[in-house]
Structure 1
Amino acid sequence: MANIGIGIIGTGSIAKTFAKCISELEHVDLIALLTKSSNRIGEIEQQFGVTVFSDMATFLDNSEMSLVCVCNESGNHGEAIKQSAMAGKHVLCEKPLEVTPEKVDEVIEICKAQNVILGCVFQNRCTSDYQALYKVVKEGTLGKLLMGNAHINWYRNKDYYALSEWRGTKQFDGGAAFINQGIHTIDLLLNVMGPVHSVFGNVQTMVHDIEGEDVGAGILNFKNGAIGTITAGTSLYPGYPERLEIYGERGSVILEAGKIKQWNVESVSPPEIVHNVNSTTGASDPTSIGHLNHKIVIQDMIDAIKENRPPMVDGKEARKSVEVIAAIYRSSEKGQQVTL
Structure 2
Amino acid sequence: MGTNVKIAIVGAGMVGAVHAQAIRSTDGAELVCVHSRSAETGKAFAVKHDCAFEADLHALLRNADIDAVAICTPSGSHADIAILAARQGKHVLVEKPLDIDLGKADRAIEECRRSGVKLSVVFQLRFMPEVVRAKRILESGQLGKLIEADAYLKFYRPESYYLSSRWKGTRQWDGGGALMNQGIHGLDLLLWLAGPVNSVTAQVRTLRHSIEVEDTAAAIVQYGNGAIGVIQGTTSVYPDHPQLLTFHGTNGTMELAGTEVPYIRRLTLLDSPERDISAPPPADDRLGEAHVRQYQDFVESIRSSREPSINGQEGRKALELVRAIYLSSERRGTVEMPL
Which letter maps to 1:222?
Answer: Y
CA distance in 2: counterparts of 1:153 and 1:52, whole angstroms: 38
CA distance in 2: counterparts of 1:226 and 1:313, whole angstroms: 24
Output one character per residue of 1:235-274: Cα deviation in whole Å (capped at 9) or x when no partner: 1111100100011111210011112221112338368999
TM-score by structure 1 length? 0.93
Q: 1:336 aligns with which of 319, 333, 336?
A: 333
Which letter maps to 1:301?
Answer: F
Residue pair 1:195, 1:223 contacting (<8 A) in 2 also:
yes
Residue 305 of structure 1 is matched in structure 2 by: 302
Q: 1:278 aligns with which of 276, 284, 292?
A: 284
Question: How far does residue 319 in structure 1 lie from its aligned partner after superposition?
Answer: 1.0
Output one character per residue of 1:184-215: Cα deviation in whole Å (capped at 9) or x when no partner: 11111111111111101111001111111111
Residue 98 of structure 1 aligns to a residue whose secondary structure is coil
TM-score by structure 2 length? 0.93
Paired residues, number: 331
Output one character per residue of 1:34-57: Cα deviation in whole Å (capped at 9) or x when no partner: 101134443333233211112111
CA distance in 1: counterparts of 2:79 and 2:16, whole angstroms: 17
Residue pair 1:132, 1:271 contacting (<8 A) in 2 also:
no
Structure 1 residue 263 corresponds to structure 2 residue 267: yes
CA gap 1:63/1:248 in 2 versus in 1, 3 angstroms:
same
Output one character per residue of 1:261-295: Cα deviation in whole Å (capped at 9) or x when no partner: 21112338368999862258xxxxxxxxx211000
Output one character per residue of 1:290-322: Cα deviation in whole Å (capped at 9) or x when no partner: 211000000100000001111111111111111
Output one character per residue of 1:122-162: Cα deviation in whole Å (capped at 9) or x when no partner: 11112222112110111222221110000110001111111
Output one character per residue of 1:11-31: Cα deviation in whole Å (capped at 9) or x when no partner: 011110110111122332111
Which letter maps to 1:71?
Answer: C
Residue pair 1:202, 1:332 contacting (<8 A) in 2 also:
yes
RMSD: 1.8
Residue pair 1:4, 1:67 contacting (<8 A) in 2 also:
yes
Residue pair 2:205, 2:216 contacting (<8 A) in 1 also:
yes
CA gap 1:77/1:99 in 2 versus in 1, 3 angstroms:
same
Which letter maps to 1:24?
Answer: S
Which letter maps to 2:256?
Answer: L
Residue 39 of structure 2 is matched in structure 1 by: 38
Residue 65 of structure 1 aligns to a residue whose secondary structure is coil
Q: Gaps spanning 5+ residues in structure 1: where? A: 281-289
Residue 16 of structure 2 is matched in structure 1 by: 15
Structure 1 residue 293 corresponds to structure 2 residue 290: yes
CA distance in 1: counterparts of 2:227 and 2:130, whole angstroms: 22
Alignment of 1:234-245 (within 5 A): 234-245=235-246
Residue 316 of structure 1 is matched in structure 2 by: 313
Alignment of 1:115-154 (within 5 A): 115-154=116-155
Residue 251 of structure 1 is matched in structure 2 by: 252
